[in-house]
Amino acid sequence: MGDARQRPRLAHAFRNEPQALDQTRTGFGWTTPPPSIGFGSNEPETYMHEVHLCGLEPGTTYYYQVGGGSPEVWSATQSFTTVPASGKITVGILGDARDDVGVWQRVQLRMRDLAVNMQVTTGDLVFTGTMQSLYDKWLGAIWQDPTDATRFVTLGQQMMVMVAGNHENEAARFYGAFALPGSGPYAETYASFDVGSAHFVVLDDQSLAVDPGSDQARAEVEWLKADLAQADANRDKVPFVVVVHHRGVFTTSAHAGDSDVLDVRKLLVPIYDAHHVDLVVNGHDHAYERSKVLRAGADPAGPPVVVGAGQGTVYLVNAGAGAPAYGVGDAPYIEKSATFGKGTPYDGLYGVATLEGRKLTVESYGLTASGADTLLDTLELTK
């Protein structure tokens, strides 16, 4: 499409009919520089564009093109469908794609073929968040279908909410690559939104883990308490509360005893308990683990207490969208666990959450090369 620097603004012509693209939205462009030192410092600056499409109708398919410039050049026509306001809604759950782009691509093909209404990821999309070349490779792999150039995968077709992990490390490249919800001085590091019968909270837990005394961490914690209090008071309309962040606070895998993980556990779990969070979805440990219903123990950084249904929170780790597999251990607070890779028929993991009225179901799958994926576990919560 020519030199991006000649096109400081990006326009989408869109409508809910593919042959009648008669509306235009103009956005803005900026340059994201490479880091001054370290990984990615030898890569060129990146010119980026962003356009906000507001006021769209729920559950509606829109067709669009991306382009502009002088002379004008436009992409092929693509489409996306907005999330329904009610009824049955499906949400893809995946994370930790950073090493094998082929596995990441196949997980995204599953998301397309399952026609999920949106996706949430738990972080570590790429290995090094300062390297634009990795975003280009990983995002490029989920744009056009690798076997059919006339079809698309999921990029630009499905709503994606990307939560940052420790490998993104809050790099400018990450925030340039994705338009994330949120406002204020730490915009795009935490936000919330309602999807059908669930209130979703997304957190970048990096500052909480590595600098919990920072202004950013304190702001995030205060925001989280206020947001969850408001969500808890709105249970009649939106019965479920789901929190998504990177570090798995209750696992038996490689990072289970890491000091930063225990610090996040100590900080966040009492907040989840106080506001009756139903489900916490994490990554970081490259395996599948689902806890029993838990509350913080006497020492919030220590082992949890198993409680009855509806009296605490379920913690779910689903992290196998391309990263190498970790092993899992045993703990009295874990209900179900599984790994992938060597010795298993699976080379990855993913999940699908279904919201339907006052029922939330999460099905978790082992990814196979044949496409005959295996259902590893089912979680069902009701209100």
Do 252 and 359 share a structural domain?
yes
228 and 334 co-located in one domain: yes
Quote the pLDDT of residue 12.
Answer: 62
In the three-class reduction of DSSP (H, G, I as helix; E, B as strand; rest coil), residue 326 is classed as: coil
190 shares a domain with 275:
yes
Per residue in 168-225, pLDDT (tens digit) is 999 999 999 998 888 888 999 999 999 999 999 999 999 999 999 999 999 999 999 9
| Average pLDDT of the segment spanning 27-43 | 92
What tens digit of pLDDT does each residue of 320-341 get? 999 999 999 999 999 999 999 9
Residue 179 sits in a domain whose CATH number is 3.60.21.10
Contact 250, 265 (CB under 8 A): yes
| Among candidate residues 327, 324, 312, the one with its CA nearest the CA of residue 272 | 312
Q: Give me the residue label for tokens 């709105």.
A: 234
- The beta-strand segments (E) located in 231-358 are 240-247, 279-283, 288-291, 294-295, 305-306, 314-318, 334-338, 348-356
Same domain, 161 and 73: no
pLDDT at 11: 58
Are residues 72 and 54 both part of a single domain?
Answer: yes
Which DSSP state fits 313? B
- Confidence band (pLDDT; 50, 70, 90) for 4? very low
28, 45, 80 — which closes off a domain?
80
Give the pLDDT band of residue 249 (cuts 50, 70, 90): very high
Tell me, yes or no, whether 55 and 138 share the same domain.
no
Name the domain boundary from 35, 62, 80.
80
Dist. CA 248–CA 252, nearest whole Å:
10
In a shared domain, residues 28 and 175: no
Write down the pLDDT at residue 2: 38
Pairing of strands 118-121, 89-94: parallel
246 and 378 together in one domain = yes
Residue with tokens 């259902």: 375
CB-based contacts of 305, cutoff 8 Å, min separation 6:
294, 295, 296, 297, 312
Mean pLDDT of 129-136: 97
Q: Are residues 274 and 227 in contact, defined by beta-carbon separation less than 8 angstroms?
A: no
How far apart CA 361 and CA 352 sit, in angstroms, is 8
32 shares its domain with 144: no
- Looking at residue 37, what is its pLDDT? 92
Judgement on whether residues 39 and 99 belong to the same structural domain of the protein:
no
Q: Which domain holds residue 250?
A: 85-382
Backbone angles phi, psi at 105, to 5 degrees: -65, -40
Tell me: do 75 and 132 sit in the same domain. Answer: no
Q: Domain count of the chain?
A: 2
